[in-house]
């Protein structure tokens, strides 16, 4: 997405035994209409559906996931969390040792196939949150008066 449209843009999912959601969030820059950012997100999703991800980008994403996994394993709490997660969601702690191999097995075609299947207009739920300027002004006013007794 064009870096000039949004202050931030990110994606995430939550682990679940049942089908779950893939979240896409963005915060428009001041003066940029939310609809413009939303259209840019849809354009990026269409790229995922219609063109293979360049190998360099896919490798970068894989390396980031693998690095995050290894960072988690640097602490006792992180190791405990990883082992518990593997036991709960994958049936055994051994999965912790297989994540890098599984991540590296993902291909550009896999990403494209999944994007075509799941990232469709019919699967979207869109929420646009617009700050209430009056509420912001009201909450700022008491602080400006210096408080009371």
Residue ranges of domains in the chain: 1-51+119-149, 54-107
pLDDT tens-digit map of 28-45: 999 999 999 999 999 999
Beta strands in 14-109 (DSSP E): 22-28
Question: Radius of gyration of the chain from Cα atoms?
Answer: 21
**What is the 3-class SS of 66-87, one letter each residue?**
HHHHHHHCCCHHHHHHHHHHHH
Helix axes 55-72, 108-118, angle to 10 degrees: 90
pTM (whole model) above 0.85: no
- The dihedral over CA atoms of 36, 39, 41, 46, expressed in degrees to the nearest 10, equals -160
pLDDT tens track for 112-121: 999 999 999 9
Token pair belonging to 109: 């075609």
Residue 41: helix, strand or coil by DSSP? helix
């Amino acid at each position: 997405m064009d870096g000039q449209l949004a202050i931030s843009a990110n994606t995430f999912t939550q682990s679940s035994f049942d089908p779950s959601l893939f979240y896409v969030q963005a915060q428009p820059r001041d003066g940029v209409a939310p609809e413009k950012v939303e259209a840019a997100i849809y354009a990026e999703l269409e790229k995922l559906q219609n063109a293979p991800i360049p190998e360099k980008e896919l490798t970068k994403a894989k390396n980031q996931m693998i690095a995050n996994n290894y960072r988690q394993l640097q602490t006792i709490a992180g190791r405990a969390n990883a082992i518990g997660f593997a036991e709960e969601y994958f049936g055994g702690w051994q999965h912790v040792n297989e994540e890098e191999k599984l991540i590296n097995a993902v291909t550009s075609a896999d990403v494209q196939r999944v994007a075509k299947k799941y990232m469709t207009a019919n699967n979207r739920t869109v929420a646009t949150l617009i700050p209430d300027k009056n509420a912001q002004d009201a909450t700022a006013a008491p602080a400006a008066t210096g408080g009371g007794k």
